[in-house]
Structure 1
Amino acid sequence: MTRGRRIVPLATPPAGRTPVALARAAVRAAVRATACAALWLAPLPALMASATPVAAQQTAQEDDSPALLVADNVFIDGEETLVATGNVEALQGTTRLTASAITYDRANDRLQITGPIRITDPEQGVIILASEAELDEGFRNGLLKGARMVIDQQLQLAAVEAQRVDGRYTQLRRVAATSCQVCGKNQVPLWQIRAARVVHDQEERQLYFDDAQVRLLDVPVFWLPRLRLPDPTLDRARGFLFPTFTSSTLLGFGVKVPYFIPIGDHQDLTLTPHLTTKSRSLEFRYRRAFRSGKLTLTGAMSSDSFRDEQVRGYLFADGVFSLPRDYTLTFALRSVSDDAYLNDYSIQNSDRLASTVTMARVRTDRRISFDLTSYQTLRQYEANATQPGLTAAVHTDRRFLWSRVPGEFRLSLAASGLYRESTLDVDSNDADDITDGRDTARLNIDGSWRDRWTLGPGFRLGLEGHLWIDHYITDQDAAVPDRITRFTPGAAVELRWPLQRKGRNGGRTLLEPVAQIGWVGGSRAKNANEESTRVEFDEANLLSLSRFPAADRREHGMTFAAGVRWMHEAPGGWSAALTMGRLWREDIDSEFTRSSGLDSLESDWLIAGRFANPLGITLTARGLLDEENRFTKAEARAGWSNTRMDLGASYVLLVTDPEELRNKAVSEWTFDGRYRVTRHWETSTEVRYDLADRRLDRVGLGLQYRNECIQVDIGATREFASANNLEPSTDIQLTVALHGFGADDSAKEYRRICR
């Protein structure tokens, strides 16, 4: 017998016995008591394994660590009964059992446990509480009274009694299940599921409800004779997901009910019927993971009453794969049945779809990529037959460094082709260009050398030379030659003077004036302009020999570019940057449009800046300022982000430019924001306002409530009529999700605190 959580009690030495002799006797008694307890408690690991999931049982079986029993008192009653009382703790591996007393009757193979009982397994996240328990038949079957099960610190199941069956199933009777925090005896959870019986399958990690009744604030709202739900430890479970209720002026009132189907450990399928008063749709998403990449397919098929088409739909395919020799394959394929489908069903707000396939490899001294792109226009005033239906391109760069030769040599090769379905030639006298079907191809080779030196008081002098070899092929266009080959030389001299200052408190400031004199020989070839109809003049190409985005156009003649860059990092954490620059050219280039800022001998002033501070405020802006101090093109973005809110505002300005098919100026404000009102309430908004037309283009509002057991999302969007959306529409969505089923988005951080 042991007392006070010690094997042998310390007592006053009896007369005639020395302390040494007493110590030896105590050790012998301790050995006998320990051996006896170990013999009697040999079945204890099986008991504890029976109260934990199968995965934990396998772990315990693989764990050779001994079972430990700690109690205030441990003694043997007779020859068949072992009794442990007072703060009893039994441990095996990661599983721990605590109780007031444990009595094991070896003759009847019965274990009686007096509560309060608590069985925990941190690895599996399961906690079982009971007032008393009785187990037998190898400790795989038994009965627990006043039982409560807590799974993954989320789902609570309270029952009058729980029965263990075959070490796998836990049957609970007269059950109330919820993941809501309940404070006080008289309070009720926000939601709960009452059931006559619940069976927890620990191997499949599923919960089966019989005669289930869903209650909100203890008011019955739904009844099901049978209900199956995954427990919180299961990542991927077959079954229905939470529905979404929708309302649209175009589609009417409807509901989405997703059904998730896992297919092994590496793929799954989600089918989502979307039933509305005016349409029937089946949405789907298929995902598969490979050893070398991943694939995702999304799409839908619909039948509605407001369009003439019988069956409408779309299909998107996205994937990325690693190929041999360090190549990466990336693709994004897009297809839709008609121009209005994506807008009607609020899937995507696009006016063109681009399907791309890219294979690329990047190394230290070389890069190569292959691209294939197909376009599908959704604009009513465009025809797919005259749009670039298919384009192909290959691009490779390589640089060479030789120890005996100064500088760096680069060799670049680019080839591309463009195909239109139309077989009609372009006629320069034909005003109806929608029937034109010009096809083009080009090959461009760029050989260059460049080097830099440091001179005098920190000047950086750079020199580069280029030789371009261009070959253009044009079919079905009588206005340009069929074949053109050009050799074009170019050179540039660049001078920088970076000036840096460090403050006493750690602040840093950089001021860098830059200037470049560039020259490109030859004259412009008479090939068709397919890819350089839109030019962006910004700080990235201020010191470039050509500001056209592609090689079907090049700048020629002498140019001079100058600018200044300023950057500052303050000790307090805020930073700012400003870039200004301008370009002067020898001759006017007629290929530059008005909004490019490069259509005269002197370009518009390029101004770009940014600002950020530790409070989360960020500002970025870029614009082109003309001679009359008016912006011909501008964009700006302001944001304020912290743990409670994320606010942003954007502005875009584009002047009228008929050469870019823009007969009206574009001036638009966009505001988007998220604000966390309280710990559980969050709002969001989106507003897009067209300043040129003085009308709202889009308004969206959202409201979310979230705690440890429920999430409610309400969203409303109003789309006004535009060039891409001829019918205004209003969409409303409502989603209610109950936390505690499945492992995703557990919302433990939103758990309320009882006071």
Structure 2
Amino acid sequence: MTLTEAQNTVVVADSGALDRELTNGILRGARIVMQDQLQLSANQMRRTDARFNQLYKASVTSCRVCESGRPPLWQIRAERMIHDQQERQLYFQNAQLRVLGTPVFYLPRLRMPDPTLERATGFLSPELVTSSLLGTGVRAPYFIRIDDHRDLTVAPFLATDSRRLELRYRQAFRRGEIEFNGAISDDDFSAEDTRGYLFGQGRFELPQDFILRFNIELTSDDTFLLDHDFSDKDRLQNELSVERARRDEFIRGAITHFNSLRVGESNATLPSRVGNVEYERRFFPSRLGGEVRFSAVAHGHARRSDLVTDGPDQDRFADGRDVSRFTTSLDWRRNWVLPAGLLANVETGLTLDHFEISQIGTTADDQATELTPSAAFRLRWPFMKTAVSGVTHVIEPVVQLAWSGGSNPDIPQDESTAIEFDEGNLFNISRFNAPDRRERGYSGAYGISYARFDPSGWEGRLAVGQVIRDERLRESTGTPTFTKSSGLRDQTSDLLVAGQYRNATGLTVTARGLFDEIFDATKAEARASWQNDRTNIGATYIWLAEDPREGRNSTVAEWAIEGNYRFARHWTASAEWRYDASTDRSVRAGAGLTYTNECVDITLSVSRRFTSSTILEPETNIGFTVALRGFSAATQDKSFTRTCRN
């Protein structure tokens, strides 16, 4: 006899007797299949009040059970088991966990959720960890469902050289959500008695379409996050912001605090306290045509240091300087379609920048005001051809002439310190990312892009561009305004080359580089990835020339490879490797092996961090995790399910 119930539950029995309402009765040789993944079987099942199913001499497993007579990979045997269909819980009495029929663990009482319950209080999968730094230990997370909108996860970790307690708290509100992750530890290898960290984030919807966000990142010392493998961040950011984005308007206000964990950086002389208020609005005047944009920004950053003299970096400005800035601009942009498909764009605007600097030192101005008019004219001429085979070619040459007036004031360059020259700003009037520096005078930019689209599923793109100025930009001291490796230092910029290839098999290759007049690379990066049903592999290479002004006293060349490959139906291998080619040494390496079927996940992993410093030691970690599948409301991947052989 077969009884089909709600929640995708099917009851099969050899024989039985039920009342007319099917709420009470006895079934013999009963088997319950829940969510097509968890199987409960018993010699006899008593059904009462259409809620409780009491199973005697019961067995529970999510493994495929075949008629060969072999026991399942794992099962829970119990003298008595009660399934509460209303609370969606399974209660076991005198339970045994058996692996291939052999008892390995005994519990007089055991409670577990059934697969239809999404969130339930109980233990999560434990993890065995062996670390050269932490020692050998066990991590056993426990999930606490407080109510429908809140939960807490407590994860104690006990090792030979470390005792740690991890906490995660989540709460959902009607118009927002928060999440906090933290840990506190007592480590034998650290001089600190107590160490810990706290990361938190939240998002709330306010009236008038405003969004409130906060982000908290705190740690007790510079190495705790790396020692316990919580994060590889070396600069922490705490921020409170309110913003609103509409079709023609953007408003944002934020207060940010930065904390550097890098060796050699002093938080006292870094601009760690930052405030920003931004407003931008666009209009579409009918008589003038085009688009008008108005923007206003108030910015300030401060250092904890009160030094009014320069430190060892010798940048002319005091290491304790604080800067306030107000910027407002009005721009007009318009596009035209000319004969023969030629596309024209005109952009003109006027910008006002005002700076107030305290503790500036004796070699620069403590305030400055600059009015910057600008104009640019751009022409694009796209060509497209579709062949008989269906292949489409698109070629688009672009040329631009731009002018920007005024001059850069003699103030510290605090904001425009990380300049990237790429396809995104090739045709900008100024390629600095903040108003404390702007490109001045006449400049021209040209580029050409080519794209090919094949019906077979692959496509390729290539873009080349360059910037030419009437003169080389310099500071008041005579030094070049742009850094050596920015690609924009000379009167004629480095050649920008970027390309991408993608095919139907999941292979994607992207590359970008800056090349000087003899075609030597200044900066280069490339990434290749291959993703399909069985493979997810990616490799990245980056090369940056030596440039002390960008904080690099030596050349950076690094490989990073990561991915996983499902080489058999139930087996997946994973690996990662970071290699510093400039110093010819590995930075990090790791490998893992996972066995997965319909009822179990077994993962063995090993990783090694090779980096060392005055405060950091190399570390090796080995992890082993076993997770029983079938007690989850999530849909399982059926490709891992085993089949029975005749």
The TM-score by the shorter chain falls in which range? over 0.9
One-letter amino acid of the counterpart of residue 417, structure 2: T
Deviation at 1:722, TM superposition (A): 4.1
Deviation at 1:170, TM superposition (A): 1.6
Deviation at 1:503, TM superposition (A): 2.0
Q: Structure 1 residues 430, 227: CA separation in 2 closer, same or farther (over 3 Å shift)?
A: closer
The structure 2 residue matched to 1:393, chosen from 273, 276, 281, is: 276
* Corresponding residue for residue 493 of structure 1: 377
1:244-255 equivalences under 5 Å are 244-255=127-138
Deviation at 1:199, TM superposition (A): 1.2
The structure 1 residue matched to 2:494, chosen from 595, 599, 604, is: 604
Residues 1:330 and 2:213 aligned together: yes
The structure 1 residue matched to 2:224, chosen from 338, 341, 344, is: 341
Q: Is the 8 A contact 2:18 2:25 kept in 1?
A: yes
One-letter amino acid of the counterpart of residue 239, structure 1: G
Instruction: Determine helix, strand or coil for the equivalent of 2:189.
Output: coil
Residues 1:191 and 2:81 aligned together: no
Q: Structure 1 residues 569, 746: CA separation in 2 closer, same or farther (over 3 Å shift)?
A: closer
* Corresponding residue for residue 476 of structure 2: none
Instruction: Determine helix, strand or coil for the equivalent of 2:226.
Output: helix
The structure 2 residue matched to 1:357, chosen from 209, 220, 240, is: 240
The structure 2 residue matched to 1:580, chosen from 449, 464, 485, is: 464
* Corresponding residue for residue 590 of structure 2: 700
Residues 1:559 and 2:443 aligned together: yes
* Corresponding residue for residue 148 of structure 2: 265
1:224-258 C-alpha deviation (Å, 9 max, x unpaired): 11111111111111111121111110000111111
Q: Is the 8 A contact 2:165 2:184 kept in 1?
A: yes
Q: Is the 8 A contact 1:266 1:288 kept in 2?
A: yes
Q: Is the 8 A contact 1:624 1:632 kept in 2?
A: yes
Identity of aligned residues (%): 46
* Corresponding residue for residue 568 of structure 1: 452
Q: Structure 1 residues 615, 746: CA separation in 2 closer, same or farther (over 3 Å shift)?
A: closer
Deviation at 1:745, TM superposition (A): 5.7
Q: Is the 8 A contact 1:355 1:375 kept in 2?
A: yes
Instruction: Determine helix, strand or coil for the equivalent of 1:385.
Output: coil
Q: Structure 1 residues 747, 644: CA separation in 2 closer, same or farther (over 3 Å shift)?
A: closer
Deviation at 1:630, TM superposition (A): 0.9
Distance of 2:503 and 2:614 partners within structure 1: 39
Deviation at 1:680, TM superposition (A): 1.2
Q: Structure 1 residues 417, 181: CA separation in 2 closer, same or farther (over 3 Å shift)?
A: same
One-letter amino acid of the counterpart of residue 689, structure 1: Y
* Corresponding residue for residue 231 of structure 1: 114
Q: Structure 1 residues 454, 154: CA separation in 2 closer, same or farther (over 3 Å shift)?
A: closer
Instruction: Determine helix, strand or coil for the equivalent of 1:457.
Output: helix
* Corresponding residue for residue 389 of structure 2: 505
Instruction: Determine helix, strand or coil for the equivalent of 2:268.
Output: helix
* Corresponding residue for residue 632 of structure 1: 522
* Corresponding residue for residue 475 of structure 1: 358
Q: Structure 1 residues 584, 148: CA separation in 2 closer, same or farther (over 3 Å shift)?
A: same
The structure 2 residue matched to 1:242, chosen from 125, 128, 137, is: 125
Deviates more, 1:570-579 or 1:272-281: 570-579
Deviation at 1:461, TM superposition (A): 2.2
Contiguous gaps of at least 5 residues in structure 1: 1-116
Deviates more, 1:160-169 or 1:642-651: 160-169
Distance of 1:703 and 1:251 partners within structure 2: 22
**Greater relative contact order, per chain length (Cα 8 Å cut-off, separation 6+):** 2
One-letter amino acid of the counterpart of residue 192, structure 1: Q
The structure 2 residue matched to 1:646, chosen from 536, 545, 549, is: 536
Q: Is the 8 A contact 1:427 1:477 kept in 2?
A: no
Higher helix share: 1
Q: Is the 8 A contact 1:719 1:729 kept in 2?
A: yes
Instruction: Determine helix, strand or coil for the equivalent of 1:299.
Output: strand
Residues 1:669 and 2:559 aligned together: yes
One-letter amino acid of the counterpart of residue 645, structure 1: T
Instruction: Determine helix, strand or coil for the equivalent of 2:265.
Output: coil
Distance of 2:46 and 2:290 partners within structure 1: 81
Instruction: Determine helix, strand or coil for the equivalent of 2:44.
Output: strand
Instruction: Determine helix, strand or coil for the equivalent of 2:274.
Output: strand
1:610-657 C-alpha deviation (Å, 9 max, x unpaired): 111111111111100011211110010111111110111110000100
Deviation at 1:679, TM superposition (A): 1.9
Q: Structure 1 residues 370, 694: CA separation in 2 closer, same or farther (over 3 Å shift)?
A: same
1:33-432 equivalences under 5 Å are 117-121=1-5, 123-135=6-18, 140-427=23-310
Deviation at 1:431, TM superposition (A): 5.3
Deviation at 1:295, TM superposition (A): 0.9
- Tell me how many residue pairs correspond in the alignment: 638
Deviation at 1:406, TM superposition (A): 2.8
One-letter amino acid of the counterpart of residue 528, structure 2: A
One-letter amino acid of the counterpart of residue 266, structure 2: A
Deviation at 1:747, TM superposition (A): 4.5
One-letter amino acid of the counterpart of residue 686, structure 1: E
* Corresponding residue for residue 477 of structure 2: none
* Corresponding residue for residue 628 of structure 2: 738
Q: Structure 1 residues 545, 148: CA separation in 2 closer, same or farther (over 3 Å shift)?
A: same
Q: Structure 1 residues 454, 166: CA separation in 2 closer, same or farther (over 3 Å shift)?
A: closer
One-letter amino acid of the counterpart of residue 377, structure 1: S
TM-score scaled by structure 2? 0.95
Deviation at 1:494, TM superposition (A): 1.3
Deviation at 1:283, TM superposition (A): 0.5
One-letter amino acid of the counterpart of residue 119, structure 2: R
Q: Is the 8 A contact 1:343 1:725 kept in 2?
A: no
Distance of 2:614 and 2:332 partners within structure 1: 47
1:551-592 C-alpha deviation (Å, 9 max, x unpaired): 111011111111111112122221111110111112212121
Q: Is the 8 A contact 2:569 2:639 kept in 1?
A: no
* Corresponding residue for residue 616 of structure 1: 506
Q: Structure 1 residues 474, 173: CA separation in 2 closer, same or farther (over 3 Å shift)?
A: same
Q: Structure 1 residues 725, 136: CA separation in 2 closer, same or farther (over 3 Å shift)?
A: same
One-letter amino acid of the counterpart of residue 419, structure 2: V
Q: Structure 1 residues 138, 621: CA separation in 2 closer, same or farther (over 3 Å shift)?
A: closer
Distance of 2:220 and 2:628 partners within structure 1: 36
Instruction: Determine helix, strand or coil for the equivalent of 2:63.
Output: coil
Q: Is the 8 A contact 2:318 2:360 kept in 1?
A: no
Q: Is the 8 A contact 2:384 2:395 kept in 1?
A: yes
1:513-569 C-alpha deviation (Å, 9 max, x unpaired): 111111111211012211111211111111111111111110111111111111121
Distance of 1:432 and 1:308 partners within structure 2: 36
Instruction: Determine helix, strand or coil for the equivalent of 1:595.
Output: coil
Deviation at 1:432, TM superposition (A): 10
Residues 1:716 and 2:606 aligned together: yes
Q: Structure 1 residues 354, 428: CA separation in 2 closer, same or farther (over 3 Å shift)?
A: closer
Instruction: Determine helix, strand or coil for the equivalent of 1:550.
Output: coil
Q: Is the 8 A contact 2:310 2:318 kept in 1?
A: no
Q: Is the 8 A contact 1:155 1:232 kept in 2?
A: yes
Distance of 1:233 and 1:748 partners within structure 2: 18
Deviation at 1:426, TM superposition (A): 3.7
Distance of 2:393 and 2:612 partners within structure 1: 47
One-letter amino acid of the counterpart of residue 321, structure 1: F
Q: Is the 8 A contact 2:73 2:99 kept in 1?
A: yes
Q: Is the 8 A contact 1:653 1:668 kept in 2?
A: yes
Deviation at 1:372, TM superposition (A): 2.0
Q: Structure 1 residues 724, 754: CA separation in 2 closer, same or farther (over 3 Å shift)?
A: farther
Residues 1:524 and 2:408 aligned together: yes
Q: Is the 8 A contact 2:317 2:412 kept in 1?
A: no
TM-score scaled by structure 1? 0.82
Q: Structure 1 residues 587, 615: CA separation in 2 closer, same or farther (over 3 Å shift)?
A: same
Q: Is the 8 A contact 2:310 2:317 kept in 1?
A: no
Distance of 2:34 and 2:337 partners within structure 1: 67
Deviation at 1:697, TM superposition (A): 0.8
1:282-313 C-alpha deviation (Å, 9 max, x unpaired): 10111111111211111111111111111111
